[in-house]
Amino acid sequence: MDHNDAPMATETQDEDHDGLISILERIQAKYNYLPQEALREVSEETGRSLVDIYGVATFYRAFSLKPRGKHLVSVCLGTACHVRGGPMIAEEFERQLGVCAGETTPDKEFTLETVNCLGACALGPIVTVDGRYFTKVGTAAVKKILKQAKEGLGKVEIGTDERVFPMEVNCPRCNHSLMDTDHLVDGHPSIRVTVSFGKMHGWLCLSSLYGSYNVTSEYPIPENTVAYFFCPHCHGELLGASDCPECGEPMVRMIVRGGGVVQICSRRGCKGHTLDVDGVNL
Amino acid sequence: MTELTKVVMRLDGVADAHRLDVYEANGGYSALRKALGEMKPQEVIDEVKASGLRGKGGAGFPAGLKWSFVPQDHPGPKYLACNADEGEPGTFKDRWIIENNPHEMIEGCIICAYAVGLSHIYVYCRGEFYEGKRKIEQAAKEAYAKGYLGENILGSGFSTHLTVHTGAGSYECGEETALLTSMEGGRGHPKIKPPFPASEGAWRKPTVINNVETLATVPAVITQGAQWHAGMGTEKSKGVKMVCVSGHVERPGIYEVEFGVPASGIINDLAGGVWKGRQLKGYFPGGSSTPVLPAEKADVLYDYESIAEAGSMLGSGALIAFDNETDVVRMAEVITRFYAWESCGKCTPCREGTRWMLQIYERILNGGGRMDDLELLLSICNNLEFKSFCPFGDAAVGVVRSTINLYRDEYEEYIREHKVYRRRFVPVKH
Ligand SMILES: Cc1cc2nc3c(=O)[nH]c(=O)nc-3n(C[C@H](O)[C@H](O)[C@H](O)COP(=O)(O)O)c2cc1C
Ligand code: SF4
Ligand code: FES
């Protein structure tokens, strides 16, 4: 049982059983499939028979006994996505990847599968790649999605990627603009803040392109350092209201001009961020 | 004009509502304070009973009554399983709740745990809800830090804990007893009832199982009172329902309305009507497992009794509309394929029946259907319904029987003219 930070059930040993699905989930996450040796080991450790474990492993769709590709593409063919053209999307993926649904490309890059309803029917047709949702997918978008997946969904190409757009932000305390038109990052005016970490205290310019993680700063900030961010005008801390959804460190908060709030993680190297524009959570 | 009545969705549009401080600023956790501070557990159960709150996961069973089935004097632990395995095609309301307002659900869970005396809350979250799982875990962490979860909650002496479990991709695991076997770490096979989960559930301990939406409604019932809740909706279907509208409409989405508004109002006023200026041909009132209703019955009132009278079910509240250009035979095949894939395989009528029906559909769509195939399909339906081990079997026949009855001529046209459906894509079972 890993789950969240909640204390584990303290009851009888019966309860240890529930670990099986999470154990298999961890193995699947590590190897992208369930290797036979690993299942034998699970059997020895949990004391459950191999046939029991095999039964569970074959029942659930998330588990695979065959090696899967690096990226998992799931195309929704649920009722709502179906009527909005899901099969055409699935077909386009098959064509582009040269494999049928359920198969893995020979270079082990992609596994293509079809699923029944991903719980976002209003935005169909839906495709998920490595857990990230793409909505209202048309056949023309298929190529782009595969390209993005290959390059890593975290990395984005400035200028051509629609998920990257410039934004202007203000300090949530004094409402002074944080934009620095003299200092360009990614060819756009940057967001200038003051950062402090350890004994260092200096300026930092963030890219104002949402989706880009480029920065320049007075002092280099070592990876994984958690820094404090301040407004250069009122010197108030830009403290976010919640912790980073990715790593749990504090967030840094800024107001988006035109309405909305953007938060970024205060840990160098973490890409955790949230953007709420008029209540739409991107 | 059909109006929205926002109860569970009252924070719709509020930025960052998934965060504890925002939720608290909007009156969050006041219901929990009220329940723990001013009410005895039995009073909470009585309040929920009096409110007429019914389960929103599909069966519409009264929530308070379910809670009162748990033996109070049972020694040892008792559990709450919050059913967040939302898998019915067309349903996407629970996902909205856990991603946008997870505290509302958690608060409801804690109140339920207090009322029934449950020592642990398990949230069974669908495996594909990556974001939702993270949001619940984050929210639970915040609630622990604030003392809403854990030992001696708010100094009341009551303690309960919360753990998030994830499924691994199986529709059947949403069925309550299959959910329990899955939680225990087995194949998602249902168990025989009785014993009912309320007396012998997860790890053979008394377990309450409720849907996310049901539990998320509880805080509002406690703060605003049973009378307020009972005053909404119809006589037997009290309160509100989040209706997920999808399919051929202009503005698909979730619309929370009082029970008893006309279905046509939801489709036309709220969802913007049928798309591309076309006509409505029919609709699933409650998800792909509920029998199709024709366009002539679009005026039926959206509550459990009226829809049952019209020959279908309200189910999980997923209204899928389809327009007059829809090929219903093909549509029925798609849904039958879903059931054939997802059948858990425990009992023969369902495991074999769903596949057999799928094969017949494939034959018809490939131009090789026979006239007596329709009778064959109907007879398989009869042998599946009420004869399968769990309600999955009943769910699988809804679309087959209703479309044959309503649109028989389209089936006959396929068979008579050896019409072939030009398949773009044949999914492979894997
Ligand atoms: C095949 C099948 C699938 C089901 N899937 C779900 C589901 O995904 N989510 C859910 O809440 N209830 C689902 N149910 C209903 C549950 O069995 C159960 O009735 C419900 O969780 C009880 O909660 P409620 O009383 O709050 O509605 C399903 C039932 C069946 C037969
Ligand atoms: S009806 Fe039978 S085979 Fe189908 S899901 Fe239920 S138990 Fe499994
Ligand atoms: S049908 Fe595709 S998300 Fe529901």
Give the architecture (CATH level 2) of B20-230: 3-Layer(aba) Sandwich (3.40)
Residue showing tokens 């309450």: B208
- Going from the Cα of B320 to the center of ligand 3, the distance in angstroms, rounded, reads 11
Nearest to B16 among A116, A117, A276 (CB): A276
In the prediction, which pLDDT does B130 show? Answer: 85
Residue A163 has pLDDT above 60, yes or no: no
CA distance A4 to chain B (A): 6
With a CB cutoff of 8 Å and minimum separation 6, the contacts of B40 are: none
A166 pLDDT higher than 90: no
Contact A121 B425 (CB under 8 A): no
Tell me the ligand closest to B197's alpha carbon: 1
List the single residue in B89, B135, B138 with the smallest CB-CB distance to A117.
Answer: B89
> Are B174 and B165 in contact, with CB atoms under 8 Å apart?
no
Enumerate long-range contacts of A32-39, CB under 8 Å, 24 or more apart: A32/A64, A32/A67, A32/A68, A32/A69, A32/A70, A33/A63, A33/A64, A33/A65, A33/A66, A33/A67, A33/A68, A34/A63, A34/A64, A34/A65, A36/A65
Query: Which strands form B161-166's sheet, in the order they lie side by side?
Result: B161-166, B120-125, B79-84, B207-211
**Residue range B52-78: mean pLDDT, rounded:** 93
Task: Compute CA distances B257 → B25, B225, B232, B263, B300, whole Å.
Answer: 25, 19, 10, 10, 15
Above 90 in pLDDT, residue B1? no
Ranges A165-169, A224-228, B245-249: which has the least confidence: A165-169
* pLDDT for the residue numbered B426: 58
Report how far residue B37's alpha carbon sits from residue B50's, in angstroms, rounded to the nearest whole number. Answer: 20
DSSP character at residue B375:
H
Q: Give 3-state DSSP helix, strand, coil % of chain B, rounded to 5.
A: 45, 15, 40
Q: Express each pLDDT in B405-430 by its tens digit.
A: 999 999 999 999 999 887 765 555 44
Instruction: Identify the closest residue of chain B to A59 by CA–CA distance.
Output: B187
CA-nearest residue, atom 29 of ligand 1: B175
List, for residues A171-218, the tens digit of each pLDDT value: 888 888 899 888 888 778 889 999 988 888 888 988 888 777 888 888
Cβ distance B93 to B244 under 8 Å?
Answer: yes
A18 near B165, Cβ under 8 Å?
Answer: yes
- Residue A80 token pair: 């709502």
Average pLDDT over residues A156-168: 60
pLDDT tens digits, residue range A36-82?
999 999 999 888 899 989 999 999 988 989 888 888 899 998 888 88
- Give pLDDT, residue B95: 94
Asked if residue B430 lies in contact with residue A113, where contact means CB atoms within 8 angstroms, the answer is yes
Confidence of residue A2 (pLDDT cuts 50, 70, 90): very low
Task: Spell out the alpha helix ranges (H) of B366-391.
Answer: 373-384
- Ligand 3 touching residue A50 (CB < 6 A): no
CA–CA gap between residue A91 and residue B119 (Å, rounded): 49
- Using the beta-carbon criterion (under 8 Å), do A116 and B86 form an inter-chain contact? no
pLDDT in tens, B312-328: 999 999 999 999 999 99
Reduced DSSP (H G I as helix, E B as strand, rest coil) percent helix, strand, coil of chain A, to 5:
25, 30, 45
CB contact under 8 A, A79 and B335: yes
**Residue A73 backbone zone (phi > 0: left; psi -120 to 50: alpha; other: beta):** beta
CB contacts, 8 Å: B137 with chain A: 3-5
Q: What are the boundaries of each domain within chain B?
A: 20-230, 240-323, 328-416
Are B245 and B253 in contact, with CB atoms under 8 Å apart? Answer: yes
Distance to chain A for B226, nearest Cα, Å: 30
Mean per-residue pLDDT of chain B: 93
Contact A241 B427 (CB under 8 A): no
Kindly indicate the confidence band of residue A277, based on its pLDDT and cuts at 50, 70 and 90.
Answer: low
Query: Residue A278: what pLDDT?
Result: 55
Q: Are B304 and B54 in contact (CB under 8 A)?
A: yes
Q: pLDDT, tens digit, for every residue of B181-201? A: 999 888 999 999 889 999 999
> Architecture of B328-416 per CATH?
Up-down Bundle (1.20)
- The pLDDT value recorded for residue A246 is 77
Q: Is A118 in the pocket of ligand 3 (CB under 6 A)?
A: yes
Burial of residue B171, with CB atoms counted within 10 A of its CB: 0-12 exposed, 13-18 middle, 19 or more buried: buried
Cα A57 versus chain centre, distance: 26
Domain ranges (residues) in chain A: 5-59, 71-151, 165-276
pTM over 0.80: no
Out of B16, B163, B288, the one facing A241 most closely (by C-beta) is B16
* pLDDT of residue A93 exceeding 90: yes
Instruction: Round the average pLDDT of chain A to a whole number and report it.
Output: 81
* pLDDT of amino acid A1: 38
Above 50 in pLDDT, residue A156?
no
pLDDT at A11 (0 to 100): 35
Tell me what percent of the residues of chain A surpass a pLDDT of 70: 87
> In the prediction, which pLDDT does A282 show?
44
Residue B225 has pLDDT above 80, yes or no: yes
**Rg, C-alpha atoms of chain B:** 22
Name the closest-CA residue to atom 8, ligand 2: B344
CATH code: domain B240-323 is 3.10.20.600
Average pLDDT over residues B60-81: 93
With CB atoms and an 8 Å threshold, state whether A113 touches B430: yes
* CATH, range A71-151: 3.40.30.10
Residue A164: per-residue pLDDT: 62
Does residue A3 carry a pLDDT above 60? no
Could you give the CA distance from residue B18 to residue A89 in angstroms, rounded to a whole number?
33
Other beta carbons less than 10 A from residue A31's beta carbon? 13
Measuring CA to CA, which residue among B260, B345, B269 is closest to residue B309?
B260
pLDDT of residue B274 exceeding 60, the answer is yes
Q: Is the pLDDT of residue B361 over 50?
A: yes
- Answer whether the bond into residue B195 is a cis peptide, omega within 30°: yes
From the alpha carbon of B388, which atom of ligand 2 is closest?
A: 1
Comparing CB atoms, the residue among A19, A55, A241 nearest residue B187 is A55
> How much is the average pLDDT of A119-133?
85
Task: Check CB contact under 8 Å for B140 and A6.
Answer: yes
Mutate to test the interface with B, among A51, A83, A243 (most CBs of B within 10 A): A83
Does the C-beta of B67 come closer than 6 Å to ligand 1? Answer: no
Q: Which ligand is nearest to the CA of B128?
A: 3
Tell if the CB–CB gap between A6 and B144 is shorter than 8 Å. yes
- How do residues B107-160 score in pLDDT, each as one tens digit? 999 999 999 999 999 999 998 888 899 999 999 999 999 999 999 999 999 999
Output the pLDDT for position A149.
Answer: 85
CB A171 within 8 A of CB A182: no
Alpha carbon A210 to chain centroid, angstroms: 15
